Structure 1
Amino acid sequence: MLRLQNVSLVRGVRVLYKNVNLTTSDGEIIGLVGPNGSGKSTLFAAILGELSTEDGDILAPPLNRISHVAQRVVETDLPALEYILEGHAPLMEAKAELKRAEEAGDDMAYAQAVAHLAEINEGAVVAKAEEILYGLGFKPNDSSRQVSEFSGGWRNRIALARALMRPADLLLLDEPTNHLDIDSVIWLESFLKQQEATVIVISHDREFLDRIAKSIWSVEDNTINRYGGNYSQFEVTRAQKLALQQAAAKAYERTASHLQAYIDRFRYKATKARQAQSRIKMLEKLQSVEPVLAKNEWRFSFLQPEKVPQHLITAEGVACGYEPDHPILTQVKCNISAGARIGILGVNGTGKSTLVKTLIGELEPLAGEIRYGQGLEIGYFAQHQLNDLRDDESPLQHLTRIAPPNMRELDLRNFLGKFRFSGDQALAPVGPMSGGEK
């Protein structure tokens, strides 16, 4: 169980939230939501003891009973399966116990260690690790590959597998569906529903939260509020709550204004002094209601091109891949027209990203022909786009580097403002930013 008692957290000089009082139930799956930079990942760090609260207490299970996904997977030469099994602390301790007994030549300790290892059932633990690997999209022969051989996205999956492997009372997941395909997301949903630990999930995937969450913790108005139900239910309840708050605030304002007007008019008139004093007491007892703070809505829009060709990309008999003798896809034929909205599906490793890179010209086709519409301009957001960010540079510096030479700084700042990077935020280094902000 996890309990937050009057918790206040500060990042730099900014108060993220204060006076937070929340308690989890055993086996509860909680969605932690809020705007980018509001302190969701910071709460995880506080639960793990990586930073201190400004005020209040966090009562959490022991660290060896909390599982979380490491922000970065070490570049180890261990096989993937072995690295994931290291996340199972009881198994690792039992094997270490057996090794110590062997080295000491202690027959009694050795017998106890063998019994301990048999009780844990290493075979079942290994089978579970393989099941997790397969569920997250790995192929059978991937378990023996070294972790260092995998790309960044696949290492993130390995980190997730290691966290899921660990016996825990509390499981903390920060954007677990990033880098997962549809099949892996469906598998993860099923896995989380079946395990016994309390789970807190940070996610911007509303459909994922709708399917797994039993309650929502929402970071809002410098605190964290709990709502029962999944994400859709949270949205309805919160909208109703805000509507009631706004109505109550208006009613308070009307009543207070009426009382204050009477007081101002008659408090110094002898004939009305008693009534005025009565209204002063009523005004003092009247419970104030804060109006709902207006929030700037973020309306995402793409810049409009000056001219759009009717036929954007045409591919005929295209082969995609990295080695001429071993193409990943062959005989690709497609015709992409202006205004099309196309989804590309397929299990991991079947060549979805390779196809996109080939169509946009980042990879040369191994065979066939690709034709582009005249004047076509292509925007591309890659699977591992975050790897291109420079931690020591600001959002403004990133845009300045890729913007046309004739763009003014004011234009770039206005553009960043649409993405909620205004004022000093546009000049802050990217490194410390949250995942969502990046």
Structure 2
Amino acid sequence: MRMESTTTAPAMTPAPETKAAPETMTAAFDDFMEAFEAFKETNDRRLGEIEQKLTADVVTRDKLERINKAMDEHKRTLDQMALKKARPALSRGSDSIEAAEHKQAFSAYIRRGDEAGLRELEGKAMSVGSAADGGYLVPAETDTEIGRRLSAASPIRALATVRQVSSAVLKKPFSTSGMAAGWVAETAARPQTGTVQLAELAFPTMELYAMPAATAALLDDAAVDVESWITSEVDVVFGEQEGTAFVSGDGVNKPKGFLSYTNVADNDWAWGSIGYIATGNAGAFKAAGPSDTLVDTIYALKAGHRQNASFVMNRKVQAEIRKFKDADGNYLWRPPAGPGQQASLMGFPLAEAEDMPDIAANSFSIAFGDFRAGYLVVDRTGVRVLRDPYSAKPYVLFYTTKRVGGGVQNFEAIKLVKFAAS
């Protein structure tokens, strides 16, 4: 594929006007598509100017950047509205008497520090979730809700495989070589085939915490949904911390991100490392045929993983790729097909992860792979809350913890793009 430009410059239309915040996802999507049409027209003009004058007009370049930023804002609005729409009410109701009792006892603990109800319930259940250092498990509804909202806030969690465990470490055997086989004659001896090589991967869970504070007046207000408040306080910060760790975490007191493993040129790939394709230009795409690197990356992945693969990059890198065209003049980046859906690049879903690095010399700014097969997120069952009315009077602190781990489980399912000469 080659980046080409049109030879005729269409009439220039004004950049999209600044409008009031849209009230519906449909309106937000319409604004986004309007900005995309303006972007295509302006970029076509820029390419036409480059072809005719070997350089683009400053006004055209500035307008293109403004539209690019406007598209990012419209997409961010769409993402936020989709997230809000995906949040179900905490009070979903339950036919379980035990769940209702737990919810009532937990509310009493949060509001007044009354531990009697929780102690009785967890004693009857012989619960191992309440550790010796204190704290109580939040009701099942709140625990489930936090997990769902993290999936929206952390794109890697949404793409990866998620496992629930009750221990501190998940150990997983993985076959690094397939079972051996061979051809034999009808009456020939059948020699023993080679043994399957197994590797044991360990995924320890690390503690992630938040400590929101509330006044006594807030807790005394019966109209306040305390569980919803705790969820809204911790889900964003948990999601941000997780998102960073799943991408670039060093594995010390946090999950190990896929960018933190040994990275090697794909031709030298071996188990335990992540293969990369170099752009051929330090800190940039190649001047001629920049999209060739993306094609090479796609086909570096085995077919079984390629059919489930997604691109992962941040908004700035996506803004650069929006300008690419194929040999027929079609844009490689396509907008979402509808509200709440993902954009696509060369036919593959594109997930925005702001923790991915910007384009720079030797940066790994684009990932492509089957993350469900390649990356594993490990959640230890239960979110724990410890009420502390003493350390920050007159505020009541809620020490909320969740144990999360993560790491690469299949090293051939993820490939990277390195912005380097080789």
TM-score normalised to structure 1 length: 0.19
Structure whose CA Rg is larger: 1
- Between 1 and 2, higher relative CO (CA 8 Å, sep ≥ 6) is seen in 2
